[in-house]
Every structure is written in C-alpha cells, then in structure tokens.
C-alpha cells in the first residue's frame, strides 16, 4: 500500500469540483462542493449522535436506505440545522443536483456545514450548480476539499493505492473539521471514495467498525456537532471480485480505509481552531480495549493538559488527573508517562510517581508542533490512540465572534 495524490478523485470513475456560489460572504472562498461517480456506487454513512441533527442527515439517511448513491453535494457557510424548512431545502438540494446530473434524487448524499439556526437560501446553490458541474474534473479533489471548509486553515485530503485479488485499487478522502469536534460516530464532514467492488452491507460493516478507533477518538473542544457525517462511495470500477464477506480481501480493504481515516484524523486534530500543536495520546498495557480507549480519550480531552501543551509545560500531573477521573479501571501505582516529539522522548512519571527529569529538555520536546503523550498502564495487552490539539487564546477569539 502506498500514499498517492488525488484525494477523492484518485479512484477510477470519480470526478469532483468546488465553487463559490454565494452562501459565504467572502467571494474568495469556495462554498459548494460536488463529488460524482460515473456509475451508481455502494454507499454507507455514519452520523452524529447529537439529538439535534442537521436536516441533511435526515435526508441522507433516507436516500441511503437502499445502500447506494452516486453523488455527494455539500455546502459550507450554513449548517441547515434547526430550520423550519430545513428538510425541504435539503431535499431540493438533492433534487436540483440529480436533475442536473440526470440521476435519481435518492442517489444523492446531502451535507451542510456552518452556522446553526440560520435559514439556507437554495437560490445561490441553484445558481452555482451550472459552474459546479461544468468544472467537474478527475483532478477536482482539492477544489472540493476547499468548498467544505469553514474555520479550517488547511485543506484535508489523502489517497492510497493497494491491491485486492490481484487488481490495483484506489481509495481517497477529503475532510473538514476544526471546531465543535468531540464525535460519537465520526467527525464533522468526511467523504471517502474507492473503486473497490464491495457490497453495501460489507461497506457499512467496514465503516462502522473503523470509526470506533479513528474518528470517535478525536476531540478538539468537547462539543459534538449537529451535522457530523462520514460517507463512503465504492463504485466497483477496479473490477475485483465483489467483497461480500470477511476474509483476506476485506482485511485489505480495512487496512486501506484505516490508512485514510487515521491520516484524516491527524489532519483534523492538528488543524483544531486556534491550535498550534497536534497531540496524539498512545495508551498501552491496558487490561481491556474499553479501558485503553477511555484513558486515551480522557487525556486528549483535558483542557488543563491541552493548555499545558500550548505552554510547553511538562505538567504530567494533569495526565494522571485525567486518567483518574476518566472512569477507567486502572492501578494508579503502575502508570508510566512519557512525552515525545521530533526532539526526543522524556520519561516524566514511573509507577504513578514523578521522576527526576530536565525541565529544559522537556520544554524543548514540547515546543514542537507534534506531541505524543505515551501512557503505559502495565496491566495487560490492549492499546488505543486518540488525537487532539492544544488549547490556545485564539480558540476563544475564533468562537467569540463565530457568527459575526
């Protein structure tokens, strides 16, 4: 398996584009994206568990009830959430997109992201569809990735090439996510495409299984969004034997999917609102998968620890504190903690107690923009990883005037 260029258009049979249609006031920013498969594709999605859900999620769930789709339409700048006419607008988005592409409206995945509680005017989308479709390209992933961004500072896209049953296959993805991220299914918006031939049932199994260890293990600010969605399209143009059950081919598919999702997890976490550092917490030595995940997520969610990482302060007590209130069953007297970056690794806690270490060396390690928090619970063979970012002054600035 190797990383390649191309994002969501790396796989055969996919085109994409992104344009500015007028939803966002800033005319230099794209705000409408489209991804299209040349044929109907197996499709699967996972959604936010927030009781307040964006209208596009309701519509997409209905459209994917048969396990197939052919296009994804997404706008940024307005979440189309908590609006009296939200369902109608989301249905209209799929209808006008389908008519323009000459496909069935039920084969369109609809997504929106942006401000909650403001009506979404369908007219800019109608007016922008012509240019959006005219510009569809096998090299359009970057434009589509830009069109789904809100407070993101960088585009997020990745693709891989791999083999299944002797056939060369490709998979790619784009994502947006910077704030309001503490998912219990996925995160903000992620769209993945592949030319692998796989049944809708097995695609759903793969996605549902993967997000438990990837997107569900991200936290930027502890807020679970109303519009979180991860969608995958698999159009089968690689012509491998269809994956209809578990086995070697399914395992290879899962490896590719996990490579895509972990890469996007790191991109999202590293681009947290106001963030200066990507934090990765790796827990080992747990006596159960649940305890490993609970510890990793608790540490990565700790506002005190996030603030300490911003200040390059090796305050390891905040790590133990987060473990202590996590609810995980651990023996505190067995916990080891280290901090690691490109500048090296430093042990700061052994068997639940502090050890002598150089504050100067620790600070040098923590001044880097990617920090690994290593925790060994010394109680078993289970492990887990979680991703987040530091907490900075700019996070408050960004969210203090988000609407205005």
For residue 330, which phi and psi values (nearest 5 degrees)? Answer: -135, 160
- Left (φ > 0), alpha (ψ -120 to 50) or beta: where does 220 sit? alpha
d(CA 226, CA 178): 14
Buried-exposed string 309-331: b where 16+ CB fall within 10 A, e elsewhere: bbebebbbebbbbbbeebebebe
Residue 285 CA to its chain's centroid (Å)? 27
Q: Structure tokens of 82?
A: 């908590």
d(CA 190, CA 308): 30
Give the active site residue among 9, 60, 187, 237.
187
Q: Which has the closest alpha carbon to 34: 120, 130, 122?
A: 130
For residue 280, which phi and psi values (nearest 5 degrees)? Answer: -125, 125
Q: Which has the closest alpha carbon to 196: 241, 263, 260?
A: 241
* Annotated catalytic residue 187: yes
> Which residues does the annotation mark as catalytic?
187
């Amino acid at each position: 398996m190797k990383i390649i260029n191309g994002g969501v258009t790396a796989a055969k049979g996919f085109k994409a584009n992104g344009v500015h249609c007028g939803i966002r006031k800033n005319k230099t920013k794209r705000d409408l994206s489209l991804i299209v498969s040349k044929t109907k594709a197996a499709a699967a999605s996972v959604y936010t568990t927030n009781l307040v859900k964006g209208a596009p999620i309701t519509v997409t769930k209905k459209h994917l009830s048969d396990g197939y789709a052919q296009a994804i339409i997404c706008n940024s700048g307005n979440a189309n959430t908590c609006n009296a006419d939200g369902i109608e607008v989301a249905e209209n988005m799929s209808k006008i997109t389908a008519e323009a592409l000459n496909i069935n409206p039920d084969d369109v995945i609809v997504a929106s992201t942006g401000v909650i509680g403001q009506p979404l005017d369908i007219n800019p989308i109608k007016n922008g569809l012509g240019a959006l479709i005219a510009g569809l390209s096998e090299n359009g992933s970057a434009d589509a990735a830009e069109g789904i961004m809100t407070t993101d500072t960088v585009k997020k896209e990745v693709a891989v090439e791999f083999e299944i049953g002797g056939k060369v296959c490709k998979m790619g993805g784009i994502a947006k996510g910077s704030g309001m991220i503490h998912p219990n299914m996925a995160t903000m918006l992620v769209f993945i495409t592949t030319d692998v031939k796989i049944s809708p049932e097995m695609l759903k199994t793969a996605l549902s299984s993967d997000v438990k260890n990837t997107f569900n293990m991200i936290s930027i600010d502890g807020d679970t969004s109303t519009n979180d969605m991860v969608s995958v399209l698999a159009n089968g143009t690689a012509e491998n034997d269809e994956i209809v059950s578990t086995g070697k081919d399914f395992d290879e598919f899962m490896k590719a999917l996990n490579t895509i999702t972990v890469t996007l997890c790191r991109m999202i976490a590293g681009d947290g609102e106001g963030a200066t550092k990507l934090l990765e917490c790796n827990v080992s030595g747990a006596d159960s998968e649940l305890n490993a995940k609970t510890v990793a997520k608790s540490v990565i969610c700790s506002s005190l620890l996030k603030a300490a990482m911003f200040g390059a302060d090796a305050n390891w007590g905040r790590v133990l504190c987060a473990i202590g209130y996590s609810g995980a069953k651990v023996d505190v007297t067995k916990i080891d903690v280290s901090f690691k970056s490109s500048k090296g690794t430093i042990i700061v806690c052994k068997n639940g107690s502090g050890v002598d270490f150089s504050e100067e060396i620790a600070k040098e390690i923590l001044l880097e923009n990617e920090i690994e928090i290593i925790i060994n619970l010394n109680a078993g063979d289970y492990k887990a990883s979680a991703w987040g970012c530091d907490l900075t002054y700019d996070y408050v600035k960004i969210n203090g005037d988000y609407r205005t």
